[in-house]
Amino acid sequence: MDIERDIEALRAILAALEPLDEAGRTRVLGLVGHYYGSPPSLRGGEAGEPKPPPPVLQQRQDQVTDIRAVKEQKRPGSAVEMAALVAYYLTELAPPSERSSTLTRSLLTKYFKQAGYPLPQHPNMTLVNAKNAGYLDATNKTGSYVLNPVGYNLAAHGLPRKSGDGPGTVVVRSRREAKKGRRPKSAVGKSKSR
């Protein structure tokens, strides 16, 4: 029996349960107990071999409903990527009571805080930059944005980036970056004529 390993495991479990509400903690602990088998003192029998997870856990194992866990799993490389990830979380993964089809400054700030991601100095500009990068579309309401297919693909399939791909490797370049990368019209063709 290694008491230090037991203590470390308990700390990890408590840290993982901290962001959940009471119902979520109870549900997770119940599923863990079901999977590993409860000790005899809790079940009234002998501790058995680990059981396969219940069907509900098998179906939802990859579906995360905590923005901090999503951030840690996807590892966004910039505030712009994190904004797209928050929009994705709100439309696809959040509990039904938290779902939102739009992303605003207040929601961005709220979910950056919950995720433990550094707050941008200018949240409104982060949203504009995410729109300019091609991840969000503006709605008819000022300061309100929706996730578009490019942002969805980034959050669902593009993150985390493979090793060697840094935050500078973007799926869609912003308009400003695209303009900087182009050669001036006057320079096009001149290198051939020399």
Measured CA to CA, the distance from residue 159 to residue 141 in angstroms comes to 29
Q: 80 and 137: one domain?
A: yes
Residue 159 and residue 97 share a domain: yes
Last residue in a domain, options 18, 34, 60: 60
Asked, for residue 194, whether it belongs to a domain, the answer is no
Output 38 or 155, whichever has higher pLDDT.
155
In total, how many domains does the chain have? 2
Residue with the bigger pLDDT between 118 and 30: it is 118
Residue with the two structure tokens 């179906």: 59
Q: What is the pLDDT of residues 42-90, one digit of tens each?
A: 444 444 555 554 444 433 444 557 999 999 999 999 999 999 999 999 9
Domain contains 189: no
pLDDT of 24:
76
pLDDT band at 187 (very low <50, low <70, confident <90, very high): very low
Does residue 50 share a domain with residue 143?
Answer: no
Q: Which of 60, 76, 108 is the last residue of a domain?
A: 60
Helix (H) or strand (E) holding 138: strand 136-138
Q: Which domain holds residue 85?
A: 67-181
DSSP characters over 59-122: HHTT----HHHHHHHH--SSHHHHHHHHHHIIIIIS-GGG--S-B-HHHHHHHHHHHTPPPPS-
pLDDT in tens, 101-132: 999 999 999 999 999 999 999 999 999 999 99
Query: Can you say whether residue 29 is alpha, beta or left, with left for phi > 0 and alpha for psi between -120 and 50 degrees?
Result: alpha
In a domain, 191, yes or no: no
Out of 60, 75, 103, a domain closes at 60
User: Who wins on pLDDT, 173 or 27?
Assistant: 27
Handedness of CA 121, 122, 127, 128 (dihedral sign): negative
- Residue 82: closest CA among 92, 93, 72: 72
Write the CB contacts of 105 (distance below 8 Å, at least 6 apart in sequence): 123, 124, 127, 143
| DSSP code string of 39-58 | -HHHHSS---SPPPPPHHHH
* Predicted pLDDT at 181: 55
Residues 91, 67, 113, 102: what is their CA dihedral angle, to the nearest 10 degrees? 0
Best CA proximity match to 85, nearest among 63, 112, 106, 105? 112
pLDDT value of position 122: 97
pLDDT tens, 147-160? Answer: 999 999 999 999 99
pLDDT at 14: 79
Q: Report CA-CA distances (Å) from 22 to 19, 29, 62, 153.
A: 10, 11, 21, 33
Assign residue 100 the CATH number of its domain: 1.10.10
Q: Using CA atoms, how far apart are residues 68 and 100, in angstroms rounded to an integer?
A: 17
More confidently predicted of 138 and 31: 138
Beta bridge partners of 137: 146
